[in-house]
Amino acid sequence: MSYDLVVIGGGPGGYVAAIRAGQLGKKVACVEMERAGGTCLNWGCIPTKALLKNAHLFHTLQHQAQEFGINFDNLSYDWGAVIGRSRNVSDRLAGGVEFLFKKNKVDYVRGYGSIVDSNHVEVKGEDGTVQVLETSNVIIATGGKARELPGLPFNGISVIGSREAMVLPNQPKKMVIIGAGAIGVEFAYIYNAFGTQVTLVEMMPRLVPVEDDDIGDALKKSYSRQGIKCLTDTKVTATEDRGTSVSVTVENARGSEVLEADVCLVAIGVVPVLPGGQLPEFTDRGWIQIGDRYETSMSGVYAIGDIAGPPWLAHTAMFEATQCVDGIFEEGSPPRRVEAFPGCTYCYPEIASVGKTERALKEEGVAYKVGKFPYQALGKAQAAAETDGFIKLLFGEEHGELLGAHIIGANATDLIAEMGLGLTLEATIEDFHATIHAHPTLTEGVHEASLDAEGHAIHF
């Protein structure tokens, strides 16, 4: 079988690339060694959101039921059913990707892909059978996997990564989470909501360190109120894995402390997952090196998504997929590279951002205005009893253009899209002033924050 394109990897980057090429009438195969959807659908974005929904519902019933006029006795949960629901959601969506392959005439090839050369991909199935696919182009979209902490390898029981954290058969009484990025803080919320004693350890000064400083500070306050122990500016100096429990020694300005737990979740980043065979050149950090058209050092071989380095996000991988495919097959369609993109963390309160942080603007010497509006002053937030958080907008001092947006609070990950569009269209503070935002909605906070940047906020 001869193909126009063989995609190695069936995650958000890979399956979107394969479907897009199919839409263009090309003969396409997508090689995946596990299941369509990759880490995102099966072991990442989707199942964690299902777990977070369960956790937030249980947390709300535990702590706010009386506020809503709801009374009940003996509130409880079934841990197995909680895990089972998240797996069912993933299964449905992965099946949906397989349907889309059929709809767009994409051959779905199960097995481990290796690059023989620029025009041949070998696929080894689980049963040991081997087939070679001939192709004019190859896209590598094999993604990444959880990074281990040196000296503390994963064992799936007492030391785990995010994948195991989604399917632990028994809920631990105590958990230490090393790393307070998106993965770390999401699982901290999930397990804490169901009663696990959680300690978050982060070596940087704040939780979610890539976010604006105000966001990290606000999340730490919220998590501390919820009972999560947050150790920032804290280094791990020693570890001991006992097989069924773990000991983690940490050190900060207050001294040294030994943390005992049933489980240690290591959430310190990702490492590349590479196909076999011939491989293109790598960056100095081990990711596949690409050019402006997503091309690698091998002729006719391209790379997209996590395997090509940060940002390690499903939505940027999807963007890269369509850009890369259109660049290969569409005459006069130069592909675009990722520039401004939303970063979303689905803990409670949710976090979302796009563009520059205030910290970055100060470092770059850019003059700016800040507009900020609290959820507490929004009627919709009060009605929903979701008053924790704020919206923060950054505008250029001279021209009033939007430079960055940062939200912590309910539905932040949905609200951020307006600001992403604003950055793309180079919207100014006057554009936000002139846009009517419906009442009562959380988006009113965007309008009010833009007004606040010039000292004219009405409701605060």
> Which residue out of 59, 439, 447, 456 is catalytically annotated?
439
Q: State phi, psi for 3 to the nearest 5 degrees.
A: -120, 155
Look at phi and psi of residue 144 and say left if phi exceeds 0, alpha if psi is from -120 to 50, else beta: beta
How far apart, in whole angstroms, are the C-alpha atoms of residue 190 and residue 434?
40
Look at phi and psi of residue 10 and say left if phi exceeds 0, alpha if psi is from -120 to 50, else beta: alpha
How far apart, in whole angstroms, are the C-alpha atoms of residue 233 and residue 207?
9
The single-letter code of the amino acid at 344 is: C
**Catalytic residue status for 120:** no
User: What number of other Cβ atoms are within 10 A of residue 409's Cβ?
Assistant: 26
Task: Take residue 299 and report the two structure tokens written for it.
Answer: 């002729």
Q: Quote the distance between the C-alpha of residue 38 and its chain's center.
A: 14
CB 239 within 8 A of CB 249: yes
Closest by CA to 303, choosing from 99, 286, 93, 182, is 286
CB 39 within 8 A of CB 171: no
C-alpha count within 13 angstroms, C-beta hemisphere, residue 324:
33
Q: Where are the alpha helices (DSSP H) in 11-120?
A: 12-23, 38-43, 45-64, 79-103
CB 408 within 8 A of CB 390: yes
Please tell me what DSSP assigns to residue 114: E
Task: Take residue 331 and report the two structure tokens written for it.
Answer: 């005459």
The single-letter code of the amino acid at 128 is: G
Q: State phi, psi for 395 to the nearest 5 degrees.
A: -120, 150
How far apart, in whole angstroms, are the C-alpha atoms of residue 9 and residue 14?
5
How far apart, in whole angstroms, are the C-alpha atoms of residue 125 and residue 75?
47
Residue 81 CB partners (closer than 8 Å, separation 6+): none
Q: Which residue has the tokens 């997503």?
A: 294
Q: Quote the distance between the C-alpha of residue 138 and its chain's center.
A: 26
Catalytic residues: 439
